[in-house]
Amino acid sequence: MVFLDQPEPLRHFANWVKAGLEALPRGSRGIEINNEPDITMGRTALVSEERAAVAAGTLLRTGFEVANSVEPGIPVLGGGGSGEATRTNGFSQHLLEAAHGKVDYYSGHPYSSSRYIDSAGSVVWPDQYIIPFLEGAAATAVQYTRKKALWSTELGWAYPKEDLYLSDSTRDYAAICAQALVLLKTVPHIGKIAWFRGYQYKLGLNERGYDYSVFLQTLGGMRPTTAVNAFATVSSLLEGSRVGQKLDLGPALRGYLFENPLTNQVIAALWTTRYDVSLKSRLPDGLQAVDFYGKSHPVDPTLRLTRGPSFFVAPLARSVELRSAIEKALWQPEQPFVITNIGARSTSTLDFTLESLLMEETDVEIALGAGDAPYQARLKPGENTIEVPASGLLRLGNALNANVTISGNGAVVKGKLEKAIIPVPRLQTLPAVDGPLSPAKLALASQFLQERVNISPPDPAVAWRGPDDLSVRYGWAWNDSGLYGIWIVTDDIHTGATGTSFWNFDSIQIAFDPQSRGGVSGYRPGNREIDLALISDGTTGLRQTYPLREDPPDLHALVTRDGDKTIYQVFLPWSYLYGKSAPPADDTLLGVSFAVNENDGSGRRCWMGPQGDGIGSGKMPARFPWLRLLPQSAR
């Protein structure tokens, strides 16, 4: 094995950087040293992640010195890691520390956790995550770079590859891009952002059947996507503006005010958080309204705001007037409230998460299709959690089924809860977390995953060869002390984990939603995710990845290998999942999912888990199966 930060490899690396720069035209806008080094250097069983980060930092330092010797003053970018690498005390931070200040700009990638625009609506929009990400990236840039700014070398969302022309997904693509561009102007120390233009690739930027290209390559040549209009509109209005200031618009709208001395204009950018919103009052004369495609609209009651930004433009001298008028205007949401999640802590109680888009409190009536009397509730603006007693929800075949109607403020909203659940026996004594695979443990592992439908990503190009390549047998048991789980994974080639990030090796990620409250845009307080892996030295690796903690959680876990089988066992005391709250009782439901990661020697190839995933392609607890804690008599 060769360490790239040793003298001889560094000499070759310096020559390579020098040759590359000399081949580029003078006056290039910048150079990035090692894009996503956590992938290219950190995901290997040969060296720890911490050691790889130090090596990558040394390469960045060397590249900086070479670049400035060839073209003094050329901006040098570095540290642009992917995903978890950008977290505090993660790969990117260790890399930048090792660069010792030899970097101009931090090139981190502010991707969302779910960036595929699909009909299921699982994509995470910029306003749902990007501000905290940018604030963290800006703090990293200020601490470690010379120019104290983020110049990101990757950002984008992807639409279905077959959607070549106008469709719901390509319209959302344009709206998402416009929203992101606006939000990028609201955080100090955020500079240039590179998007995937696309036309430099003959086959586009295809990833699992989705394309990131802003310009699309087709058989007839290159053509722009809908996002090009969004880029033109937002850049025309906001290029040169000061950092945007947030507007106070209530739960139905998001908005920011930008003062642009370059154009002598003030611009208010507004969009909806859920459904379309109409203007129900007058705004001052002389305002211009423009949508994210650049089309002008009259400023009157026919104006409708959508998820994509609309812009209200006035002379810069009217900045205070515009802010006041926008914040005091009467905005009416098309639908006043929305069911964001239906959960169930037990087979007799429903948990509703309802979001009211109104500025004032409102009364609603909740009716179930199970013969229960309607339930009255009062909603405050924003998110509300309501526990509704219900009966008759447990259906033959271990499934929950409920039709829901919510009425109020002249609107009717309907929802449906239908979810298969996994029965978990109550045992007087839980199995020991130890090596022997006893008949009792084998009997407990009564659930099987051995079909292609359980493989993710759902791409035919994933070379899954059948159950001998990867399959899972698993089960659970519980009692008053806690929850026991076992997974017997058939895997013909095993790759042990190194470092502190297990998901890229043979491993299992297990996620918990103890209150079964769901959600499709990341984890919430109370959720947990742990990772288990057999380390390359034969020991058990255990990490808590949500909420992230550096020390292992207080759980009992064991990972062993027996022939072509990897056996994962874990015991979780109820205090780990419920804290100081009362432990669960009979018929409690809790959301649990897992992803068994597959690495045959060259990085994660795929993963296997219950249908719906909810972990590997984005954190979506609403897709987790539910465990039903059976009474002793039901065993």
Fold agreement between 350-420 and 425-634: yes
Alpha-carbon distance values, 555 to 13, 107, 433, 515, 531 (Å): 44, 37, 10, 20, 12
What letter does residue 39 receive in the DSSP assignment?
Answer: H
3-state secondary structure 394-439: EECCCEEEEEEEEEECCEEEEEEEEEEEEEECECCCCCCCCCCCCH
Q: Among 157, 12, 1, 149, which Cα is nearest to 78's?
A: 149
Question: What pLDDT, on a 0 to 100 scale, did the predictor assign at position 45?
Answer: 63
Alpha helices in 24-48 (DSSP H): 37-40
Q: Among 486, 515, 523, which Cα is nearest to 591's?
A: 515
CA torsion through residues 238, 240, 243, 245, sign: negative
Query: Which sequence spans correspond to the domains of the chain?
Result: 7-232, 245-333, 350-420, 425-634
Do residues 293 and 342 lie in contact, with contact meaning Cβ atoms separated by under 8 Å? no
| CATH class name, domain 350-420 | mainly beta
Half-sphere exposure of 187 (CA within 13 A, CB side): 26
What is the tens place of the pLDDT at every residue in 251-306? 999 999 999 999 999 999 999 998 999 998 999 999 999 999 999 999 988 889 99
Question: What pLDDT, on a 0 to 100 scale, did the predictor assign at position 1?
Answer: 43
Residue with tokens 């759902």: 458
What is the tens place of the pLDDT at every residue in 235-246? 999 999 999 999
* Structure-token pair, residue 408: 């109020």
Question: What pLDDT, on a 0 to 100 scale, did the predictor assign at position 460?
Answer: 60
The three-state secondary structure class of 453 is helix
Question: What pLDDT, on a 0 to 100 scale, did the predictor assign at position 199?
Answer: 56
Furthest CA-CA distance within the chain? 79
Do residues 487 and 608 lie in contact, with contact meaning Cβ atoms separated by under 8 Å? no
Dist. CA 450–CA 223, nearest whole Å: 43
What is the DSSP annotation of 498-556?
Answer: -TT--TTSSEEEEEEETT----SSS--TT-EEEEEEEBTTSPEEEEEEETB-SSPPS-E
Number of helices (H), then strands (E), in the chain: 10, 39
| CATH class name, domain 425-634 | mainly beta
* Structure-token pair, residue 410: 């002249």
Question: What pLDDT, on a 0 to 100 scale, did the predictor assign at position 635?
Answer: 53
Question: What pLDDT, on a 0 to 100 scale, did the predictor assign at position 345?
Answer: 79
Dist. CA 427–CA 444, nearest whole Å: 11
pTM of the model: 0.78
7-232 CATH, one of 3.20.20.70, 2.40.10.10, 3.20.20.80, 1.20.1250.20: 3.20.20.80
Question: What pLDDT, on a 0 to 100 scale, did the predictor assign at position 342?
Answer: 81
Q: What is the CATH number of domain 245-333?
A: 2.60.40.1180
What letter does residue 334 receive in the DSSP assignment?
Answer: S
Half-sphere exposure of 311 (CA within 13 A, CB side): 27
The three-state secondary structure class of 612 is coil
Question: What pLDDT, on a 0 to 100 scale, did the predictor assign at position 396?
Answer: 46
Dist. CA 614–CA 505, nearest whole Å: 19
Residue with tokens 């722009």: 224
Euclidean distance between the first and the last CA atom of the chain, given in angstroms as a whole number: 54
Alpha helices in 81-167 (DSSP H): 91-98, 130-144
Dist. CA 323–CA 318, nearest whole Å: 9
* Structure-token pair, residue 341: 């999640």
Strands 31-32 and 76-78: parallel
Do residues 258 and 246 lie in contact, with contact meaning Cβ atoms separated by under 8 Å? no
Dist. CA 464–CA 349, nearest whole Å: 41
Q: Among 450, 497, 454, which Cα is nearest to 607's?
A: 454
* Phi-psi label, residue 455: left if phi above 0, alpha if psi -120 to 50, beta otherwise: beta
Do residues 224 and 232 lie in contact, with contact meaning Cβ atoms separated by under 8 Å? no
Do residues 74 and 139 lie in contact, with contact meaning Cβ atoms separated by under 8 Å? no
Dist. CA 238–CA 356, nearest whole Å: 31
Q: b/e map of 577-615 (b: 16 or more CB within 10 Å)?
A: bbeeeebbeebbbbbbbbbbbbbbeeebbbbbbbeebbb
What letter does residue 588 receive in the DSSP assignment?
Answer: B
Low-confidence ranges of the chain (pLDDT < 70): 1-3, 5, 44-45, 83-84, 88, 164, 199-206, 219-220, 370-371, 392-398, 458-461, 520-521, 633-635
Beta pairing partners, 628? 423, 589
Do residues 210 and 159 lie in contact, with contact meaning Cβ atoms separated by under 8 Å? yes
Dist. CA 27–CA 19, nearest whole Å: 16
